[in-house]
Structure 1
Amino acid sequence: MSTPTSTPGLVPGDGSTALRKAALRLIPFVAVMFFINYLDRTAISFAGPNGMNDDLALTAAQYGFAAGIFFVGYIVLEIPSNLALHRFGARKWLARIMVSWGIVAVLFTWVQSDTQLYWLRFLLGVTEAGFFPGAILFLTMWFPREYRRRALAGFYLAQPLTTVIGAPLAGFLMQSGHGVFGLEGWRFMFLCVGIPAIVLGVACWFYLTDRPEDARWLTADERAWMRRELDAEAGENQQRGHVSARRILREGRVWALAVAYFGLIYGLYSLAFFLPTIIGGFQERFGTTFSVFEKGLVTAVPYVPAALALFLWSRHIYRNGFKSWHIALPTLLAGLSVPVALYMNSPYLTILVIAVTACGIFMALPNFWSLPAQFLTGAAAAAGIAFINTFGNIGGFSAPYVTGWLTDLTGDEKLGLWLTGGLLVLSAGILLVLSRRSRATDASERVATQTSAA
Structure 2
Amino acid sequence: MEMDIEKRTLRKVSWRIVPFIMLLYFIAYIDRVNIGFAALTMKADLGFTASMLGFGAGIFFWGYFLFEVPSNIVLHKVGARIWIARVMVTWAIISAAMAFVTGPKSFYVIRFLLGAAEAGFFPGIILYLGYWFPARYRAGVVAFLMAAAPLSTALGSPLSAALLEMNGVMGLHGWQWLFILEAIPALILGVVVFFYMTDRPEKAKWLKDDERTWLVGVMNAEAASRATTAKHGIVSGLANPRVIALSLIYFGTSAGLYTLGIWAPQIIKQLGVSSMTVGLLNAIPPIVSVIAMVIWSRHSDRTGERTWHVVLACVAAAVGLIVAAVASSVVGLIAALTLVNIGISCAKPPLWTMPTMFLSGAAAATGIATINSIGNLGGFAGPAVIGWLKESTGSYSGGLYFVAGLLVMSAVLTLLLARSQKASVSTSNAAAH
Please, which runs of 5 or more residues in structure 1 have no aligned partner?
Answer: 1-9, 284-288
Q: Give 1:267 deviation, angstroms.
A: 1.2
Query: Given that residues 243 and 375 in structure 1 are in contact (C-alpha distance below 8 angstroms), is that contact kept between their aligned partners in structure 2?
Result: no
Q: 2:119 aligns with which of 113, 129, 135?
A: 129
Distance 2:418 2:299 in 1: 19
* CA–CA separation in structure 1 for the residues paired with 2:34 and 2:45: 16
**1-structure distance, mates of 2:110, 2:430:** 57
- Name the structure 1 match of 2:7: 16
Among 88, 103, 107, the residue aligned to 1:98: 88
Q: Distance in 2 between matches of 1:99 and 1:273?
A: 23
Task: Give deviations 1:359-390, integer Å, cap 9, x for gaps.
Answer: 00000112211000010001000000001111
What is the Cα deviation at residue 249 of structure 1?
3.5
2:199 to 210, 223, 236: 210
For residue 83 of structure 1, the aligned residue among 73, 97, 110 is: 73
Q: Determine if contact 1:313/1:363 at 8 Å carries over to the other structure.
A: yes
1:366 corresponding residue in structure 2: 349
**Paired residues, what number?**
433
Q: Which of 15, 21, 31 pairs up with 1:30? A: 21
Equivalent in the alignment of 2:322 = 339
Which residue does 1:72 correspond to in 2? 62
Structure 2: give runs of 5+ residues left out of the alignment: none
Is 1:273 aligned with 2:256? no
Q: Distance in 1 between matches of 2:138 and 2:337?
A: 29
Alignment of 1:177-196 (within 5 A): 177-196=166-185
* Contact 1:244-1:376 within 8 A present in 2 as well: no
- Report the AA paired with residue 149 of structure 1: A
1:418-451 CA distance string (max 9 Å, x none): 11000100100010111122233334444555x3
Distance 2:301 2:75 in 1: 29
Q: Which residue of 2 aligns with 1:7?
A: none
**Residue 313 (structure 1) shift:** 0.7
Partner SS state of residue 302, structure 1: helix
Aligned position for 2:406: 423
What does 1:226-305 align with in structure 2 at a 5 Å threshold? 226-283=215-272, 289-290=273-274, 292-305=275-288
Aligned pair 1:403/2:386, yes or no? yes
Counterpart AA for 1:263: G
Counterpart of 2:153 in structure 1 is 163
C-alpha separation in 1, matches of 2:298 and 2:248: 27
The answer on whether the counterparts of 2:232 and 2:361 sit within 8 Å (CA) in structure 1 is no
TM-superposed CA distance for 1:247, in Å, is 2.5
Cα displacement string for residues 288-307 of structure 1 (whole angstroms, at most 9, x for unaligned residues): x32x2221111111111111
C-alpha contact 1:97 1:127 (8 A) present in aligned 2: yes
Q: CA RMSD in A?
A: 1.5
After TM superposition, give the deviation of residue 112 of structure 1 in Å. 2.0
Identify the range of structure 1 (264-273 vs 431-440) with the bigger mean alpha-carbon deviation: 431-440
Task: Kindly indicate whether the alpha-carbon contact (under 8 Å) linking 1:91 and 1:205 is maintained by their aligned counterparts in 2.
Answer: yes
Contact kept, 8 Å, 2:232 with 2:362, in 1: the verdict is: no
Shift of 1:325: 0.7
Q: Which deviates further from its counterpart, 122-131 or 202-211?
A: 122-131
Q: Which amino acid aligns with 1:31?
A: M
Q: Which residue of 2 aligns with 1:307?
A: 290
Query: Secondary structure in 2 aligned to 1:116?
Result: helix
Q: C-alpha separation between the residues in 1 aligned to 2:356 and 2:82?
A: 23
Distance in 1 separating the partners of 2:2 and 2:268: 48
Aligned counterpart, 1:6? none
